[in-house]
Amino acid sequence: MADFLMPSLGADMETGKLVQWLVKAGDRVKSGDVVAVVETHKGAIDVEIFLDGIIDNLAAVDKEVPVGTVLATVRPPGETAIMPAPGAAPAVLATPVSVVTPSEVAPRIAANLGRTRISPAARLRAQQLGVDVAALGAGSGEGGAIGLRDVEAAARPLPASPPPSAGSTVHCGFDPAQMRLAIAAAMGRSKREIPHYYLTDSIDFTAATQWLAAWNAGQPPEQRLLPAVLLLKACARALQAYPQFNGFYLDGGFQAGKGIHIGWAIALRGGGLVAPAIHDVDRQGLPQLMTAMRELVQRARAGGLRSSELGDPTITVTSLGERGAESVLGVIYPPQVVIIGFGRVQPRPWVVNGQLAVRDVLAVSLAADHRVTDGHLGGQLLAAINEALQHPDIL
């Protein structure tokens, strides 16, 4: 028999609230199934299980509990269920885990496709409005997923809720003020505990710009690539050559990540920031990566992230885009050991073969953990990213 625990969804999470079970006691579960919804400062998160068997002893909902709390037990099929004593509370680990450990870095497994596709925020709203999710059919989201507007449209005949007063927070699993406090706490801890070093460089992005223009010219809008996908792939290519940056600082030493799972920083419309993982970036082609990135951004902003996406990024990449600043110096998200930042692409004077020319130039930065690497190796990582972006056709 194994315990299913309140997962750690990043270094800035200490507690979570179990708000809904998507299974019942006695159900058969398998690795990758979404079994519960947990509310954190990042919103309502679909929580996957990475155990196989019969789930039992489900914890009560609507209680704030520490990371590491036992939420349920999973026993092999055929094993007799052990029922807790009446009134007994779920067990709690002696030392709750507050950061991702190697045992918690779960592989990417698809969510359970047999259940209704609905974002956690929409599911919670459906509960509030008394909407039967099973009766809604396909939603307006990608792949027929049900979103907030589908739920609210179904509930339109019901009396409308009064608008929130000025300064109040709309509670759909996301509280911007709480997220801001959590981000500040995590970044404060990072700056106190991690000896950062910083490097910056400028990349001639002209070859990438020209290649993208040629690629997109023959593609329908939904299949066109953004510069960000080249940045992701170039980082993954560089991490293959320099795996010392891909992983975690835990228990006094570096522990390599199991796969290149890049946390992509996403600004939320209501304020705040999340950096869920795009898994196995090195193994995906550019069109596949572009689809994964678009879908991840949509779900992050709609409140539909999964626990596996928040629990196992091995590195974070932030890109400010064309409307961002010229450059960015990031703060490492523990227990990761590096964050890579890209500013906006802009025309600059550049020397090419001894001649002055105008080129598209991109600023790149690296903040890394001096307990694991030093500036010499960091410089090599930036050089590898630069080299990869000079040959976008082979990314």
Q: In this structure, are 360 and 273 located in the same domain?
A: yes
Asked if pLDDT for residue 58 goes beyond 90, the answer is yes
Domain membership of residue 173 (yes or no) is: no
**146 vs 105: which has the higher pLDDT:** 146
Domain of 150, CATH number, reads 4.10.320
Domain of 332, CATH number, reads 3.30.559.10
Q: In this structure, are 344 and 368 located in the same domain?
A: yes
Average pLDDT (262-276) is: 88
CA angle 159, 164, 166 (to 5 degrees): 155
Asked if pLDDT for residue 238 goes beyond 90, the answer is yes
Domain of 38, CATH number, reads 2.40.50.100
Residue 81: the pLDDT is 63
Structure confidence by residue, pLDDT tens digits, 112-164: 333 456 765 666 667 657 777 767 766 665 456 676 667 767 765 433 434 43
Residue 146: the pLDDT is 74
Q: In this structure, are 223 and 364 located in the same domain?
A: yes
Q: In this structure, are 208 and 309 located in the same domain?
A: yes
Q: In this structure, are 130 and 221 located in the same domain?
A: no
Which of these ranges, 1-5, 320-324, 367-371, 390-394, has the smallest mean pLDDT? 320-324
Domain membership of residue 177 (yes or no) is: no
Structure confidence by residue, pLDDT tens digits, 361-388: 999 999 999 999 999 999 999 999 999 9
Asked if pLDDT for residue 43 goes beyond 90, the answer is no
Q: In this structure, are 148 and 216 located in the same domain?
A: no
Domain membership of residue 135 (yes or no) is: yes
Contacts 24+ apart (CB under 8 A), 191-195: 191/331, 193/334, 194/249, 194/332, 194/334, 194/369, 194/371, 195/369, 195/370, 195/371
Domain membership of residue 51 (yes or no) is: yes
Domain membership of residue 185 (yes or no) is: no
Asked if pLDDT for residue 204 goes beyond 50, the answer is yes
Residue 44: the pLDDT is 81
Q: In this structure, are 91 and 125 located in the same domain?
A: no
Residue 141: the pLDDT is 58
Where in the chain does DSSP place strands (E)?
A: 2-5, 15-21, 28-29, 34-40, 43-48, 53-56, 63-66, 70-75, 196-204, 247-250, 253-256, 262-264, 266-267, 273-274, 277-278, 315-319, 338-352, 355-369
Which residue, of 103, 131, 158, is where some domain finishes? 158
Domain interval for residue 268: 193-394
Average pLDDT (302-323) is: 87
Contact (Cβ atoms closer than 8 angstroms) between residue 381 and residue 366: yes
How many structural domains does the chain have?
Answer: 3
Q: In this structure, are 48 and 146 located in the same domain?
A: no
Domain membership of residue 181 (yes or no) is: no
Bond into 221 cis (ω within 30):
no
Q: In this structure, are 121 and 38 located in the same domain?
A: no
Structure confidence by residue, pLDDT tens digits, 244-261: 999 999 999 999 999 999
Q: In this structure, are 126 and 37 located in the same domain?
A: no
Domain membership of residue 165 (yes or no) is: no
Place of tokens 């010499």: 376
Q: In this structure, are 353 and 270 located in the same domain?
A: yes
Asked if pLDDT for residue 206 goes beyond 80, the answer is yes
Domain membership of residue 28 (yes or no) is: yes
Q: In this structure, are 214 and 152 located in the same domain?
A: no
